[in-house]
Amino acid sequence: MGKHFLVNDNLFYADNPRVARNTFLDAPLKTGPLPTYEESRGRLPRPVWDGHPDALACYDRTWEIAFKNLRNANREAGFVSDFIDTAFNGYLFMWDSSFIVMFGKYGSRVFDFQATLDNFYSHQHRDGFICREICEDQSGEQFTRDDPAATGPNILPWAEWEYFLQTGDRERLSRVFDPLCAFHEWFRLHRSWPDGSYFACGLSCGMDNQPRTPKGYNAAQHHGFMSWIDTCAQEYLSATILCKMAAVLGRTDETAALEEERALLSRTVNGTMWNDADAFYYDKLRDGTLSTVKTVGAYWTLLADLVPAERMDRFVAHLDNEKEFKRPVRVPSLSADHPQYDSDKGGYWCGAVWAPTDYMVLRALSDHGYDALAHEIGKNIHSAVVKVFNDTGTVWENYAPEKAAPGAAREDFVGWTGLLPISVLFEYVFGIRTDPIRNKITWNLTEPERHGVQRYPFGDAAVDLIAEAETEGAPRRVTVRSEKPVDVEVTCRGKKIEVEYI
């Protein structure tokens, strides 16, 4: 079933039949000379934005740091693919890596960033478990499966789906489907309560020190006997995406249990974890009452499409409330009206602004039609990151919520912070999105200056997208040059713009 020792471990755990179809367990080693930034720069996407040299310099520096974190796979450690390091402690993190590949997809013509995740699939245990931290230089994992901090957040399906939406790579989708399903099933069996809700802890939810557990429980390491709102939503999202993958792969006959779980989770989350007076989703305590801690993690419900239409505007309004999440730098990880909100450097997850949760919020907003708010928030955080880059010469693990400054954070963190100067620039400042299934790029112009992207990756083609500067009284000129035919639909302030293919 697999040669890595962790796969053939405790015989008392039941085998998951999907693990037998996990082709990463016996995969040939994918390794070779690692590309450098200097030799790769001319093949990476190149943003164009007249009058914003600082944003372009921040973009360049981010890729330069990222390439310094490329690593060769160590077979003795159970790795099967070269990867980008989490840039933290010599372990590869599931949560970080899932977000890192979401900007790495833009550099896929130079390095296979997505293959970073292959190393988690190659560490899958016989019953489907995957540890959230795996050692890079020797065989080993940071946690045992029964530790509440052992795994999560389960956003691997989302990371793979985002890659598919950029590349249309059905072959990869087919390879990852079984290990993802096996991991999802393990999570359901070992991380859920009788009502179908899920638990985590500060470490396994990724937001280490948020003040979420009741008094007397270690916030980082104990679940506090709570139903965790972000974990519930992530499992719903996982089930939803696995169903979408099954539809693409012609395997919908395998999704009945996933559909049942989605229905149960929707009833539980919307019936027992929503406070209508506050218009907010909260963690549920052991006695059935709700927490009062407003965490940015609640917005995983919006990304997962769990929020009923009649609740959506009121729930989203918290993101535009200056007493809560609309701070000078958006979006803080903890609402500003909480007594433990740290207005100085954000106290790590007690108010600091983080790339992964900001990106989740942006994607949740744009997926549900809140494009103007998504652009506003995206532009805000991108501007703050660029200002801090101008002040310090680098990008940071997190940012202060009350001014454009580093948080209590590590510098040169790429790391998931690469999302902000790269993905957020392309997707939420420039407004470029892709749909490879329909061979289509959509571009919503919001910036008046000449801007766009050269060598933008779309499937296996590179596309040049350039919008000339606005000129009063004249139609805006948008040109597209592509290695393969592609449909580009451009809008500006709700009006369609004609595209010139050159």
Task: Give the residue with greater pLDDT, 475 vs 480.
Answer: 480
Nearest-10 crossing angle of helices 170-190, 229-249: 140
Q: pLDDT value at position 1?
A: 38
Domain count, the chain: 1
480 part of a folded domain: yes
> For residues 430 and 104, what is the distance between their CA atoms, to the nearest angstrom?
18
> For residues 297 and 408, what is the distance between their CA atoms, to the nearest angstrom?
20
Tokens matching residue 445: 């112009």
Average pLDDT for 120-127: 96
Q: pLDDT value at position 13?
A: 62
pLDDT tens, residue by residue, 239-278:
999 999 999 999 999 999 999 999 999 999 999 999 999 9
458 part of a folded domain: yes
463 part of a folded domain: yes
> For residues 42 and 63, what is the distance between their CA atoms, to the nearest angstrom?
12
Query: Does the predicted model carry a pTM greater than 0.75?
Result: yes
Q: Which domain range does residue 453 map to?
A: 443-501
454 part of a folded domain: yes
> For residues 84 and 112, what is the distance between their CA atoms, to the nearest angstrom?
9
- Measuring CA to CA, how many Å separate 39 from each of 44, 101, 215? 10, 21, 54
Q: pLDDT value at position 15?
A: 85
Nearest CA-CA partner of 357 in 386, 388, 322, 332: 332
Nearest CA-CA partner of 83 in 115, 108, 36, 120: 115
492 part of a folded domain: yes
> For residues 15 and 12, what is the distance between their CA atoms, to the nearest angstrom?
9
Cross-strand partners of 280: 275
Nearest CA-CA partner of 132 in 158, 108, 152, 159: 152
